[in-house]
Amino acid sequence: MNTFWENDWVQIAAYYSVVVLSIILFLTIFELVTKYKNWEEIQNGNLAVAMATGGKIFGIANIFRFSIQKHESLLEMLGSGVYGFVLLLLGYFIYEFMTPKFRIDDEIQKDNRAVGFISLVISVGLSFVIGEAL
């Protein structure tokens, strides 16, 4: 049975499955902390929400990319990825705190594309820093 788990194709499928499920779970968590409903806004053509959500998806996937590179076991990779997600979520709250003149969620919900783009860049940028640090 050990040779089954050591097969490259099996490992790829395992990593892929865990990461896809993690992205779904983490996007659900992001949905809970934002004022708007991501998928409803995207369905209605809100490009700011699409950019912010796309940045979150990229950020989470990128953190897991680094985690897969740096860890030998699926469990270590998952633990590191979860920790990275928590840091990314913390970055989201810091971004909100650092903009006292307006509320990020309100601006994104109003389709302020500049704010949506900055949200995307922050998620992507932080994911590289977090991933490298893992």
In angstroms, how far is CA 84 from the centroid of its own chain?
9
Q: To the nearest whole number, what is the mean pLDDT of the chain?
A: 93
State how far the Cα of 104 lies from the Cα of 73, in Å rounded to an integer. Answer: 37
Domain parsing of the chain, residue ranges: 2-133
Residue 3 above 80 pLDDT? no
Which pTM value belongs to this model?
A: 0.90
Give the pLDDT confidence of 22-57 residue by residue, as tens digits: 999 999 999 999 989 999 999 999 999 999 999 999
Residues in contact with 123: Cβ distance below 8 Å, sequence separation at least 6, in sequence order: 52, 55, 56, 58, 59, 88, 91, 92
Give the pLDDT confidence of 66-93 residue by residue, as tens digits: 999 998 888 999 999 999 999 999 999 9
Give residue 59's pLDDT band: very low, low, confident or very high (50, 70, 90).
Answer: very high
